[in-house]
C-alpha cells in the first residue's frame, strides 16, 4: 500500500507581492517532483476545506471573526506576514483540512504525508510568521475528538520553535509537544513546549541527528504515543534563507528516514507535514523537501 500523499492545487494558488519571501510555488513543484519520481495516481488525496466552526475547536471566536472579515488591526495583521485575501483564507482552511486528513490516513495506513502544513506559530488568538491557524493543533484535536483516549506526540523539527502548538496544548496531557529548533531563530520569545531542545547556530549533521534520534526514542518510550504528528521543516538546511543551522541535504534525508523508520518499527502511525523551507532557489528548496518523500519510499517501499 503506497503512502497517501495529501495535496491541493490551492496550496500554491496565492497572489503575493513581488519579492515576497514566501516560496508559494513550492507545493506544486514538490507535487511535480513526486509525479516525476513514481507517485501513483491512486496515492493522491485532495482535502476539502474545513469550516470556521472547526477552526473554533482551537482558536478564539474573536480572532476567527477578525480573520474571516478582515477586521484585524494592522499591527496584529503584520505579524502574520501575508496580505489578507479571500484566496488566503480558502488556502488556509484547505491546508488545515489537509493536515487533519493526513492524521486520519496515518491512523488507517501507518503513514501519510501532507504536501503543506506546519503552521506552528499560530496561537489561540493571534497569528505570526505566515501562520493564521494551527493545522497541527487542529489535527490533534480532531483525532482526540474521535478517539478521546489517544496520546499524540507532536514532533516538530522545523528550525523555528513550534510556539503556537506549545501554548495551545500547554494544559492538554494527551498531547506531548516537542520542538527541536535553532536557539537564535524566530520566535525570539520562546514558548514552553513539553520538551524544547535549542540548537546553537551552525549545528552540523552529526550533532543534529543524534539529538533528534535521542529525543524521539526517549519520547516514544516515555509517552507511548498512538500517533506522531511530524513537522519535517527543511529550514534546518545550511542553504536556507531563514535558518541558522548547517544541515546538509544528506542530513535532512537521514533525519526524515530515521524518524519514519523508528515510527514504523514501533508500530506508531506517523503523519508528516513538510513544514518550513525558505530559499529563492526553488529547485534547491524542492530537493530539500523531497528528502521526506525519499525517506517514505525507503521506509515504506511506497
Ligand atoms: Zn520554520
C-alpha of residue 181 to centroid of ligand 1, in Å: 9
Q: Quote the CA–CA distance of 254 and 194 in Å, as a whole number.
A: 25
Q: How far does the centroid of ligand 1 lie from the alpha carbon of residue 279, in Å?
A: 12
pLDDT for position 301: 86
Q: Which of 8, 120, 121, 123 is catalytic?
A: 121
Question: Could you tell me which of 160, 64, 177, 71 has the C-alpha nearest to residue 119?
Answer: 160
Q: Ligand 1 mean position to 42 CA, how many Å?
A: 30
Domains of the chain in start order, with CATH, are 5-14+32-300 (3.40.800.20)
φ, ψ of residue 74 to 5 degrees: the values are -55, -40
Indicate if 121 belongs to the active site.
yes
Where on the phi/psi map is residue 267: left (φ > 0), alpha (ψ -120 to 50), or beta? left
Cα of 4 from ligand 1 centre, angstroms: 24
Closest CA to 194 of 178, 182, 214: 178
104: Cβ contacts below 8 Å, ≥ 6 apart: 142, 143
Consecutive 10-residue runs of the chain (302 residues): their mean pLDDT? 94 93 97 97 97 98 98 96 97 98 98 98 98 98 98 98 98 98 95 98 98 98 98 97 96 98 98 97 97 97 71
- 94: its cell numbers: 484547505
User: How far apart, in whole angstroms, are the C-alpha atoms of residue 282 and residue 288?
Assistant: 10
In the beta sheet, which residues pair with residue 69? none
The pLDDT score that the predictor gives to residue 19 is 87
The full DSSP string for 187-245 is PSS----SEEEEE-TT--HHHHHHHHHHHHHHHHHHH--SEEEEE---TTBTT-SS---
C-alpha span between 249 and 268 (Å, rounded) = 26
pLDDT at 219 (0 to 100): 98
Print burial letters for 110-140: b (CB count within 10 Å at least 16), e (below 16): bbbbbbbbbbbbbbeebbbbbbbbbbbbbbb
The rounded Å distance from CA 231 to ligand 1 centre is 9
Neighbours of ion ligand 1 (CB under 5 A): 158, 160, 233, 235, 276
pLDDT for 302 equals 56
What pLDDT, on a 0 to 100 scale, did the predictor assign at position 170? 98
Amino acid at each position: 500500500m503506497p503512502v497517501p500523499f495529501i495535496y491541493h492545487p490551492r496550496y500554491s494558488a496565492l497572489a503575493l507581492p513581488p519579492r515576497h519571501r514566501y516560496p508559494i510555488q513550492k507545493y506544486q513543484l514538490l507535487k511535480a517532483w513526486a509525479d516525476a519520481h513514481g507517485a501513483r495516481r491512486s496515492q493522491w488525496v485532495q482535502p476539502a476545506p474545513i469550516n470556521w466552526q472547526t477552526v473554533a475547536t482551537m482558536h478564539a471566536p474573536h480572532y476567527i471573526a477578525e480573520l474571516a472579515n478582515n477586521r484585524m488591526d494592522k499591527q496584529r495583521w503584520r505579524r502574520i506576514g501575508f496580505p489578507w485575501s479571500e484566496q488566503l483564507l480558502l488556502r488556509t482552511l484547505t491546508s488545515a483540512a489537509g493536515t487533519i486528513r493526513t492524521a486520519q490516513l496515518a491512523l488507517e495506513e501507518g503513514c501519510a504525508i501532507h504536501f503543506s502544513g506546519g503552521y506552528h506559530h499560530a496561537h489561540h488568538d493571534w497569528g505570526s510568521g505566515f501562520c493564521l491557524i494551527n493545522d497541527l493543533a487542529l489535527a490533534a484535536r480532531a483525532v482526540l475528538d474521535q478517539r478521546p483516549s489517544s496520546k499524540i506526540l507532536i514532533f516538530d523539527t522545523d528550525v523555528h520553535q513550534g510556539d503556537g502548538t506549545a501554548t495551545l496544548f500547554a494544559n492538554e496531557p494527551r498531547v506531548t509537544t516537542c520542538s527541536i529548533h535553532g536557539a537564535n531563530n524566530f520566535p525570539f520569545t520562546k514558548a514552553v513546549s513539553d520538551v524544547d531542545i535549542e540548537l546553537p547556530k551552525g549545528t552540523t549533521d552529526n550533532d543534529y541527528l543524534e539529538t533528534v534520534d535521542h529525543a524521539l526514542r526517549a519520547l516514544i518510550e516515555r509517552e507511548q504515543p498512538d500517533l506522531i504528528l511530524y513537522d519535517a521543516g527543511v529550514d534546518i538546511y545550511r542553504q536556507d534563507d531563514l535558518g541558522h543551522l548547517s544541515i546538509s541535504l544528506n542530513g535532512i534525508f537521514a533525519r526524515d528516514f530515521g524518524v519514519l523508520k523508528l515510527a514504523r518499527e514501533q508500530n506508531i502511525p506517523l503523519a508528516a507535514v513538510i513544514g518550513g523551507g525558505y530559499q529563492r532557489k526553488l529547485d534547491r528548496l524542492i530537493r530539500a523537501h523531497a528528502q521526506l518523500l525519499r525517506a517514505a519510499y525507503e521506509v515504506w517501499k511506497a
